[in-house]
Copies of this chain bind each other. A is one copy, B any other.
């Protein structure tokens, strides 16, 4: 049977040797286990960006995969270090919310990791999280059950930080009210709005007086025109065809957005 990989998500960037140190530990302690880079350019210390990234990919990998998530502004403080078993996958990282997407599954189990006495207080990624990820990967390779395996690396822990995307609310007139959650590389704004799909073609998003008609895909509007669409994770995104909505409209995280039926003014 093919080996499940260890994946890596960090905010270390790719201009020095830190990612290399973590990978060296993994290659040494879990020989033969494939390493898969998710991304290393999470904005420094951006827990929310890491959480949203994890939400996208953690469940798409096969059972037995170990997801290592190192975005850890609180390294060396009292924040707990965690390992999670959830739907057959493992996640390892700091207790600051980055692992949240895996914590809402019915079978999710969480343990708190002990800090090895020799761990550098500024680099738990190398000295604590990577060794535990390696241990889980080796155990999964041997076919141990996730729950049993998890209990070998730490003590059950009930207080894990759970962060959630704030759900949209409904106004008196039925319009859906949400906010800008984050941006992707293309300058698309991902919002907290989750519409019923039948609304495509019959609704629009309004933000600071600007109207974004809800369409199926970018090609449904003229180049340079604003649009809204249901993105690949089910959330409404605001975009400009062949352009950057973030730059064009000077958007920021947290800005309010309203989903209204076509022809209805938002305010």
Contacts and interface: CB of A to CB of B under 8 A. Distances in A.
Interface of A: 1-5, 7, 9, 11-21, 23-25, 27-28, 31-32, 34-45, 49, 52-57, 59-62, 65, 73-78, 120-123, 126-127, 182, 184-186, 216-220, 229, 231-232, 237, 242
Contacts of A237: 122
Residue with the greatest number of chain B CB neighbours at <10 A, chosen from A41, A127, A229 = A41
Given A17-B56, A61-B24, A73 B36 contact: no
B231 A122 contact: yes
B53 A20 contact: yes
A8 to B, nearest CB: 10
A44 B185 contact: yes
Nearest to A29: B62
7 contacts: A16-B39, A16-B52, A16-B182, A20-B60, A24-B60, A27-B65, A75-B218
A216 B23 CA distance: 25
- Identical copies in the complex: 3
A50 to B, nearest CB: 9
Contact of A184 (B18, B60, B77, B120): B18
Question: Which of A20, A121, A182, A219 is most buried by chain B, counting CB atoms within 10 A of its CB?
Answer: A20
A56 B18 contact: yes
Contact of A219 (B38, B39, B76, B186): B76
A122 B34 contact: no
A34 B31 CA distance: 11
A15 B185 contact: yes
Contacts of A54: 17
Given A53-B17, A57-B21, A217 B36 contact: no
A166 to B, nearest CB: 19
B17 A126 contact: no
Given A7-B20, A76-B216, A218-B76, A41 B14 contact: yes
